[in-house]
Amino acid sequence: MKVLFLEHPRQLFADRQNDIANTTLASCLNTGYLAARCIEAGYPTRIIEGYMENLSFDTIYEQIAMDPPDFLGIHLVYNWEDNSHLYRFIEKIKGEFNISHVSVYGYYPTFAYLEILNNAPAIDTCMMGENEITILNLLSSLADFSEVQGIAARKGDGFIQSRGQQVQDLDSLPFPIRKPSSYPGGEVNIFGSRGCYGNCTFCYINPYYEGDHIAQGKWRGRSPENIVREIDHILATTDYRYFYFTDPNFYGPGRNGRKRVLALAELLKTRKIRFGIEARANDIDEETTAALVDAGLQNILVGLESGKDESLKRLNKHTTVSDNENALRILRRHGIEPNVGFIMFEPDSTLNDLKVNLDFLKRNDLLEHLDISVNVLYHHQIILAGSQSYQQLAELGRLRVSEHSVYEADTDYIHTEVAMFAKIMRDITNHLFDYMKDTWQDYHERKPETVAIYNEINEVLVAAFEECLQTLKAKTFHEEEGLAYVEKINQKIDSIISH
């Protein structure tokens, strides 16, 4: 049986340029792990990387035509639209090439399987959650897959579904298959753990792995030795020396988590690599930070989320403003300027909340660089299926499901002045993202002219946020005034760019 896995093309929409949470970064490894499992089990397997290789549907069609599979697996990613074009493509290739079974996998199918099965008759099954065990059980049971654990499928006039099985020993997994396009900008994405010991309201990572409940013992880690074996393999077979750990929680819980990090740092130190990680603020301490920097740590994303303790409680972060500021101080003492996750606009935010957030960002020097400011001064709380916030808002009758998919929803801000503020900042930052997508590399390489432009634009953006906040405290913007204000700021930005 020939197996093909497809990463389908995706599109960037003008008004969605900083909404990157429709699937986690770690999901970029899903296809590589499934392919590795199939190859290990003896199935002839290949990957078509339609997304990273920027392939058109016509090109993908031609590649499939040269060697049609018996089984087609698709990493189905919600792309802020209804995916109807993709569904028509699946129906076409399944019929023309006599593909016996089509299965989709990822975050979107896990939480929106009913919608997908109803809208895409050519899709036979949705694999739910973690699926390295499911895939082999499914491939061996295609004649009758009704008893396979970890899938959703049609059955008679209804549906069947069951949660996937977790791989308890992550060291038992084969290393993922990587194509040349799997190294964006020379970066090697790698995971050292799955899950998170937190349970933030906006996050759907643990429900993806564990089901619709919040369970204990959610975080699982690979051994340092297993991680380094994969790194050694990549060092021996490629020229790449920068690794980014896609784990949403690199450290793991408590004393054992820190002990594991120290052991991993000791092994990494001799490899002479550079790497980046993602972590919670409460995990950052002097000892592990020093060890990681000594081992090659260059970049870290820390989920601060808010500069107000009440908001952190509302988000169920189990961290404090003091934790956030302590993490920033420690990282900077060791020469690391962190990237930060921050939710400026929550559905229940007040103007005072926004002022407290602004003061926190300024007090902690987090508005000095445009690449940070453009995110933290707008980012709203994204509401996706699987998260606690999605469920809570539904129970309160405040959830507004997207016309495209049940996977995506939003809600009204409680305060109309905050809603206006959020719209203004969204329109300004989207305009900036449109410019930055073509100039980011020059800024990253610290080309003087681009750095100067970014610095000047940053001053305009921060000043605009402060001015808008003060104005809205005094009066309410009407829609026309809001549009005029956005146009004024965007014209200032365009003037800086053009000169």
* CATH no. for 189-342: 3.20.20.70
What is the rounded CA–CA span in Å between residue 183 and residue 207?
Answer: 28
Q: What percent of the chain stands above pLDDT 70?
A: 97
Dist. CA 499–CA 198, nearest whole Å: 47
Mean pLDDT of each 10-residue bin along the chain, 499 residues long: 96 66 88 98 98 96 98 94 91 98 97 96 97 97 94 93 91 97 92 93 90 58 98 96 96 95 98 97 97 98 97 96 98 97 96 98 97 94 94 96 94 95 95 90 90 96 97 86 94 94
* Beta-strand relationship, 400-401 and 408-410: antiparallel
Please state which architecture CATH assigns to domain 3-161.
Answer: 3-Layer(aba) Sandwich (3.40)
Give the list of residues 6+ apart from residue 438 with CB closer than 8 angstroms, or none.
none
**Cα–Cα dist 407/119, whole Å:** 14
Q: In whole angstroms, give the CA distance from residue 300 to residue 360.
A: 19
Residue pLDDT, tens place only, 194-241: 999 998 999 999 999 875 444 444 899 999 999 999 999 999 999 999
How far is the C-alpha of 96 from the C-alpha of 98, rounded, in Å? Answer: 6
Looking up tokens 């120290």 gives 262
Residue 489 CA, chain-centre distance (Å), reads: 30
* 3-state secondary structure string across 287-325: HHHHHHHHHCEEEEEEEEECCCHHHHHHCCCCCCHHHHH
pTM of structure? 0.93
Show the tokens assigned to 237.
């077979």
Residue ranges of the domains in the chain? 3-161, 189-342, 366-383+397-499
pLDDT of residue 216: 41
